[in-house]
Amino acid sequence: MKKKFSKILGLALALAMVMAMLSACGGGGGGDKPADGKDSDGGSGGEGGGKGKIAYIVGNLGDKSFSDSGEAGMNVLRGEGWDIKTIETGDASKADKFEDYIRDALDQGYEYVVGSSNYGDIFLNIADEYPNARFLIYDEMRDESSLKSNVSCIFYAQNEGSYLVGMLAAGMSETGVVAVDVGVENPVINDFVTGYVQGAQDYNPDCKVVVSACGSWTEPAIMKSLVLDQVRNNNADVFYQVAGGSGDGLFEACIESGTWAIGVDSDQYQSYKDSENPEKADVILTSMLKEVGNSFVSFFHSVEAGEDMWGKTITLGLKEDSVGYVDNAFFQENVPEDLRNAMAEAAAKVKSGELEVKSYYDFADESEYLAFVDSAK
């Protein structure tokens, strides 16, 4: 029954992902959209949705990745009768406005406020002022002792999914040098890097891993230049992007250099195949999936069922089918069977507990993490 439900939910999320991307197209997506606190009800849900009112706080839609995955989940909930407003705050350059947008939504009667780790501190700072509201921070690890009774966290084990695509990168590389290129470094992003480095080196101990940040989630031109430099100067030939809208530049660089890319958060192969730039799909071997939208739907189904979901940190990984990778026809055509089997076997071992993937959160301090990353260069 669970598998059947997962398939139905997956189909609903795939359709909702298309809706999310179409709704973002008018603004250009990613860094092309003005960051002015734009909001939308997504074209459905309507005023006074019978199941409750949710404000989804997001930087920018249109990244064909993290933010759009969340919006896809919200579109599923809209279709079920929830009244949902999506509020685009823009990137960190607009951080002084974030709290105003959140308070505005609360003052408009939104009972639930959902936002990533970018907004977590604000949620915790104002939670006591809004005791009847509920706040969901996603993509962040917080100790439950630090949470308020009306605040919860969803944390994704992105290190586990990244381990598997690290194996893929090492197995597909002809030069023995792979890369992971991120937007902005932070603990969650460093957790992606940690898993990827371990996976690459477990599969091939001689594989070198280049780790770089372009400094923005919305600068594809900077990312493209960075990746092309890594091709020329480091001889890297497989690239994993964890960079939001900046990741588009990585795909462009891979087309130009004839190298492979790995997407993130959602099925970026399919997103680009369905876009105005379908050629970008042809360099994307797979994407490391972080089922953000799926987690929203499951969380609010639990709320609707009357479960106590607050004051908790919920961790979702391979065992919960909340991270993983895309296993589509393109992946199967381009990745050798023995490598595909090795990835599947590793995933099974992680789920069973036989294989433990390192996490950034396990390092004693930043210097220990940096030493780990440097050891792979």
Tell the residue number behind the tokens 């997962």, with chain if given.
6
Residue ranges of E strands in 190-259? 208-213, 238-242
pLDDT at 131 over 50: yes
Report, as an integer, the average pLDDT of 319-346: 96
pLDDT at 38 over 50: yes
pLDDT at 355 over 50: yes
Inter-axis angle of helices 158-172 and 187-203, nearest 10? 40
The mean-pLDDT minimum among 22-31, 37-46, 343-352, 356-365 falls in 22-31
pLDDT at 364 over 50: yes
The verdict on pTM exceeding 0.85 is no
Element (H, E) at 286: strand 284-290
CA-to-CA distance for 311 and 112, rounded, in angstroms? 14
**Which pLDDT does position 255 carry in this prediction?**
98
Report, as an integer, the average pLDDT of 287-312: 94
CA-to-CA distance for 130 and 96, rounded, in angstroms? 20
**Which pLDDT does position 102 carry in this prediction?**
97
**Which pLDDT does position 92 carry in this prediction?**
76
**Which pLDDT does position 74 carry in this prediction?**
96
Q: Express each pLDDT in 177-200 by its tens digit.
A: 999 999 999 999 999 999 999 999
Q: What does the block give as tokens for 119?
A: 């907004």
**Which pLDDT does position 6 carry in this prediction?**
44
Domains and CATH numbers, the chain: 2-157+292-316 (3.40.50.2300), 158-289+322-374 (3.40.50.2300)
Report, as an integer, the average pLDDT of 36-42: 58
What value does the mean pLDDT of the chain take? 89
CA-to-CA distance for 75 and 114, rounded, in angstroms? 14
pLDDT at 325 over 70: yes
With 0-12 / 13-18 / 19 or more C-beta atoms within 10 angstroms meaning exposed / middle / buried, residue 7 is exposed
Tell the residue number behind the tokens 């909702």, with chain if given.
16
- Asked if 138 and 292 count as a contact pair (C-beta separation under 8 A), the reply is yes
**Which pLDDT does position 73 carry in this prediction?**
94
Confidence of residue 328 (pLDDT cuts 50, 70, 90): very high
CA-to-CA distance for 199 and 193, rounded, in angstroms? 10
